[in-house]
Structures are given as structure tokens and as C-alpha cells.
Amino acid sequence: MGECAQLLASKGAGLSESSYHGQICYRNYPDVWADLGLQEHRLDGEEYIAVVDEFMEAVFTRWPHVIVQFEDFQSKWAFKLLQRYRDTYRMFNDDVQGTAGVAIAGLLGAVRAQGKPMIDFPKQKIVVAGAGSAGIGVLNAARKTMARMLGNNESAFESARSQFWVVDAKGLITEERENVDPDALPFARKTKEIGRQGLKEGASLAEVVREVKPDVLLGLSAVGGLFSKEVLEALKASTSTRPAIFAMSNPTKNAECTPEEAFSIVGDNIIFASGSPFNDVDLGNGLIGHCNQGNNMYLFPGIRNITKEVAAAVVKEAIDEDLAEGYRDMDPRELRKLSQLQTYMTVVYRALAIENDLEEQKNVDTELIRVPSYGGQGNRNSGNVNPGGRDQGNTW
């Protein structure tokens, strides 16, 4: 992608620490001020945004083709800053977009592994543990994907919303919850709905899994062992013949469960994926329980230059796997008739031309084949992912 660099912007305005004029300000904890960093409260509000604005302007002035990665920002800033910069700068939020992209790929793959057609994805019942920036990012992406399959209208979005149950540190999120995070509010369950399901505001994760009998249990909490024996025992009642368990939090100690726990408690027929690398599980009698790794590194943008052959192959694969929805005035059936070379010339060339400054971006339509995956792209150093993000308070 030309001159490309990854800047970990979290070191400029992140959660674990924030760099300000070359000094480190460790959160807003007075008890550590005596020993560490700049002894001032962290910036907030418009002052905070002004610093990030200045950072972005300076970076892109110095390196016009840089990619800025936002990492581990609080939820209240993650979405706001993403919307603020995404149409102006070459940037992405790893927690919101990277995790979402990997999760959507896994969710769609799980549908196929369950022996169902892709169009059945909107019927999946999904329990999500974690309401931080990563959890909400996945929820938004999955909801949009379902809605696109259902017609992409208001009723489709409402129908898609009803497929998710979100549990945070306070339990099931419902419309009765006070001070619900605005980004989580669209996924708060309605009182009448949960009443019919035998649930209530603040119901535990085990209770939700027991009553909902989900197809997918998705962990984005950064709480190690959250998928306890009680929770996994409850999942055995899933209405799916192959329930999926995604323990996506990293590092390893933060994984919601291990593959050994999942296979031994729920059964040999599960689909398992994790953010951390785990070994496959020997189930005995020659059977292997496969541990699939769902890590943001698989979607990291800018990790290498993308050749026309790679780009065309990826697009063709999307077409062959019925993920492509169309391109301009061409429907999926017409796309399937294209050879790899024709795919490159028709779809890929214009996007690659932009990245190599062969055409001015403002005069070129950069739209690629549209696929129902609304996550962005991202990576984690050393494969370590903490989808829940740090400093999430009681949201997980």
C-alpha cells in the first residue's frame, strides 16, 4: 500500500496509558501519581478530541499514506473517533472492526459447518458475553449482515436485533437497565420478550444460555473462565446440532474457556474457536476436536502489498462461496461467469490503482464487490487479542 506504517494510536490516547507531550499519564488514579508519570488527570471531552485531532493531522502531514491503528480505546471514544476519522483518514479501530471482521467470518463459517445454507444465518440465536467496544462492534456487524440477507430495510434490522442476547458484568442487558451505554441500547432486550423466555434484567450468563438454547456462544469479555462448567452444561441443551463456542478473548489467561473444557463438557460435536492459540483436543478413538483460531491478525490491513493475483483470488473465492452480493450493475450470477483475469480487470484493478496513486481517489469509484462482512480489519501483536478492551469497567 505504498508508504505504509502502523501507528499504535492507543499510546497517544489509549486506556492503559496515555502519552501527552512525551510524558506518561497513568489513568486517573491518584495513588500511583507519587511514583509514575505526569501528575494530572487525563484529558476528557473536547480537550481530549483536540489532542487526537492534532495527532491525526500531524501524522498524515508527515506520512500521507500511513495507516493508523486505534487500539484499546474506551467504548465511549472508540465509536466516536471511528466515525470522526473513517471518511477522512486511512485508519481503523482494531477492537471494533478487526474483531468484528474475524467474528463475522467465524459466524458465517459456523453456519456452513452446521450443515445449513448461508441464508439461514439470520436465524442463528447468538448469546454475546461482553459489551465493550469489541462486543458492540461484533453485534453491529452481525446485525447488519443479517439485515442485508433479510432485505436491508427497517423490519429486517428489527428482526436481526431479536437474534442477540447481550450479557455484561451486570447480567442480561434489557430496556429496564438504567444508564445503558448508548451503543449497547439497540441490543437491550424488551421486557415482554424476556418475560416470555423466563428471563429478567440482570439474568446470569448461565440462565440466559439455559433459556435461550443458542446456536452460538460468543465470548468477548476478557474474563478468563467466564464460560464455567455451569454455562457449558447449559449449552448442551442448544437447539443446534453443532453449537459454536467462540472464546475470543486474549491473552490465553483471559480466554472464556479452553477447548478441552468445551469439548469435554458440551460434547464432541461442537464448533470451537478462540482468540488465543490452543492445541487440538484428542477426543479418543481417533477423533480430534479442532481448535480454530479467530484472531484479528488474519484481517490486518497493510501487512504486505496486495498483488493483483491475491486480490483477484480473494474476490473469486467470495464469489464461489456465495458471499458476493454483486458489483455495480452485475448480479452474483454474472460475477460467477468471470474468469480470474476478468475479475481482476473488472473489479480489482481500480482499487489497486488508487493504492498506487495511478488515479486520483476523488475521481474513482473504489467500491469492491460487496460482501456481507461489515467488520474492518486489524491485528494484534504476537497474536494476542483482548477483544473486550482494557479499562472497560463493569461492561466486560
3 state DSSP class of 77: helix
3 state DSSP class of 364: coil
Give pLDDT tens digits for 348-367: 665 555 445 444 443 333 33
Pairing of strands 216-219, 18-20: unpaired
Per-residue model confidence (pLDDT) at position 48: 93
Mean pLDDT by groups of 10 residues along the chain of 396 residues: 38 35 42 63 89 95 91 87 92 89 92 90 96 91 91 90 95 93 91 91 97 96 96 96 94 95 96 94 94 84 66 76 66 72 65 48 38 35 37 50
CA distance 117 to 45: 47
Query: Which residues, including other chains, have CB under 8 Å from residue 375's CB and lie 6 or more apart?
Result: 97, 98, 99, 100, 101, 102, 103, 104, 137, 138, 141, 299
Query: Which residues, including other chains, have CB under 8 Å from residue 95's CB and lie 6 or more apart?
Result: 70, 71, 72, 73, 78, 132, 133, 134, 137, 378, 387, 389
Per-residue model confidence (pLDDT) at position 361: 42
Per-residue model confidence (pLDDT) at position 20: 30
Task: Decide if domain 97-298 falls under CATH 3.40.50.720.
Answer: yes
pTM: 0.73
Residue intervals in the chain for CATH 3.40.50.720:
97-298
Give pLDDT tens digits for 33-77: 556 667 778 888 999 999 999 999 999 999 998 889 998 888 889
Per-residue model confidence (pLDDT) at position 125: 97
Strand partners, 327: 330
DSSP 132-153: SHHHHHHHHHHHHHHHHHHTSS
Looking at residue 341, its amino acid is: L
